[in-house]
Amino acid sequence: MEQQYVEFKGIGKRFIGVRALHDVSFRANGGEVTALLGENGAGKSTLLKILSGAYTADEGVYEINGAEKHFATTQEAIADGVSIIYQERQLVKELTVAENIFMNMLPSNRLGVIDYAAANAEAQRIIDIFRLPIRSTDRVKELSVAHQQMVEIMKAVRRESNIIAFDEPTASLSETEINTLFSVIGHLRDEGKVILYVSHRLKELFQITDKIVVMKDGALVDTLKTSDASEKELIRLMVGRDIGDIFHHLDRAASFGGPVLEVRNISNDNISDISFTLHKGEVLGISGLVGAGRSEIVRAIFGADKLQRGEILIDGKPVKIGSPADAIRAGIGLCPEDRKDEGLVLENPIRTNISIATLGLVSKMGVIDTKMERDMSLKAIAAYNIKTHSAEKQVIELSGGNQQKVILGRWIGADLKVLILDEPTKGIDVGAKSEIYNMIIGLAKSGLGVIFISSELPEVLNICDNIIVVKEGRVSGTLAREDASEEKVLTLAM
């Protein structure tokens, strides 16, 4: 087989008020994994969307195996062997694995009757190539997030795609699931396919990629062989300066105040008997495997899920929290993990997405004070360095990481006692991560209690004063920062 390749030549793309890509040229070869690395808003997803036919380039061309292509739709790109795996899965959860793999292309017999036996057998053949413990007849909704993602990949394999791009595929996967994904990617690479890979987790790039294309502000900065690159150099190239050890300069409070949040024996269908105390000035981590009940605990505290038993106290007084509105009134804020489902109204501007949590502050007798609303959103845009030319930009037009920053920005004007952050750094670039760490420590110093959930253990170990580890909806142990280690957390979590 001849070597496959994709070559971008001078790609440019503008949106209103922003030059998303400018003169981007590089070649990605088959049999290699090529990483795209860059800050939030650098243009990575835009480039992939151009290759997939979702956007058209304003300037430049791209070639596949020497032939110039101009995909006007994603169907055209798919027909030419290009598949993009997005972080948000595009599956029909009610249908089976085989039905999703074949989506609209189910084989049929001479009479036009769908041949499910053939579809299931072919789907199972693909599943077995990757040695996955699932059946072609399983319903997608019953699969783990990682296996759902594998179904996306198998869809691409079934179409015999030669070019497969992954846009932040690991953001909601656990460590073992990431290993499964990497073995599948390795298999595809060894078959000679062109693999493009986007992630903000530098560690992963060293595990799975051969070449790294660094982008900044829509332009290509450099292309490196992974084996020649160092983490420090990559950060310098993508951020444009040295940021040093991101955990090193955190200026944390010397001591805590009194208890601000006390949780006593709370239980519902997902969690049992959770108790802990959070102090003013404390950053408390909740750790555990994906699916252990971390988000369920904070959703219960925030009133997003109902409590069946137990008690919540703020400043020593019992509070009744039946809904998020009750929680906000009591001084509790939550940045949810899933920005699409629970966080943002994508078609609305940044301005209203930021004011939504603190509407009481920006409205007088029920009428929203637009100027105050705008000032508040501008403050958040500046504080979190949200990449936009205006507070009126629709959230859907922001890059993934910048959408996440809008969720954080919501609480900027609020009068909070407790701030809960569920995976706040998901999809966030290293420079911005370091800003978020400083913000968390700063809020704690100013007297807030902060609850911090993250799947990236180094973050939890470095940011949190205390860590509670949960397993199957229960607390399996508590560690103080001085005693905590990756090993100890994992032992309690497994």
Ligand X SMILES: Nc1ncnc2c1ncn2[C@@H]1O[C@H](COP(=O)(O)OP(=O)(O)OP(=O)(O)O)[C@@H](O)[C@H]1O
Contact residues: ligand X, CB under 6 A: 15, 18, 20, 38, 40-46, 387, 397-402
Whole-angstrom CA distances from 386 to 378, 399, 408 are 9, 10, 10
Kindly tell me which of 147 and 426 has the beta carbon lying closer to Mg ion. 426
Question: Closest distance between Mg ion and the C-beta of residue 347, in Å?
Answer: 19
Choices 24-32, 296-304, 375-383, 395-403 (CB under 5 A): range interacting with Mg ion: 395-403
Question: Closest distance between Mg ion and the C-beta of residue 55, in Å?
Answer: 13
Kindly tell me which of 217 and 342 has the beta carbon lying closer to ligand X. 217
Identified binder of Mg ion from the candidate list 6, 24, 42, 45, rule CB under 5 A: 45
What is d(CA 132, CA 101) in angstroms, rounded to the nearest whole number?
A: 14
Q: Any idea which residue has 């020593």 for tokens?
A: 316
The two structure tokens encoding residue 485: 């280690």
Question: Closest distance between ligand X and the C-beta of residue 452, in Å?
Answer: 21
Kindly tell me which of 34 and 466 has the beta carbon lying closer to Mg ion. 34
Kindly tell me which of 349 and 400 has the beta carbon lying closer to Mg ion. 400
Please count the CA atoms within 13 angstroms of the CA of 253 that sit on its side-chain side. Answer: 22
What is d(CA 394, CA 346) in angstroms, rounded to the nearest whole number?
A: 7
| Residue 166 amino acid letter | F
Question: Closest distance between ligand X and the C-beta of residue 182, in Å?
Answer: 20
What is d(CA 186, CA 120) in angstroms, rounded to the nearest whole number?
A: 25
Question: Closest distance between ligand X and the C-beta of residue 290, in Å?
Answer: 21
Q: Is 120 helix (H, G, I), strand (E, B) or coil?
A: helix
Kindly tell me which of 390 and 476 has the beta carbon lying closer to ligand X. 390
Binding flag, residue 293, Mg ion (CB under 5 A): no
Pick one of ligand X, Mg ion, none as the site partner of residue 425 (Cβ within 5 to 8 A by kind): none
What is d(CA 331, CA 418) in angstroms, rounded to the nearest whole number?
A: 6
Q: Which residues are CB-neighbours of 278 under 8 A, at least 6 positions away?
A: 259, 260, 261, 262, 263, 284, 418, 449, 451
In degrees and rounded to multiples of 5, residue 37 shows phi and psi of -125, 140
Binding flag, residue 148, Mg ion (CB under 5 A): no
Kindly tell me which of 125 and 389 has the beta carbon lying closer to ligand X. 389
Pick one of Mg ion, ligand X, none as the site partner of residue 38 (Cβ within 5 to 8 A by kind): ligand X
Residue 187's CB: how many other CB atoms inside 10 A? 15
Binding flag, residue 400, Mg ion (CB under 5 A): yes
Binding site for Mg ion (CB under 5 A): 45, 399-400
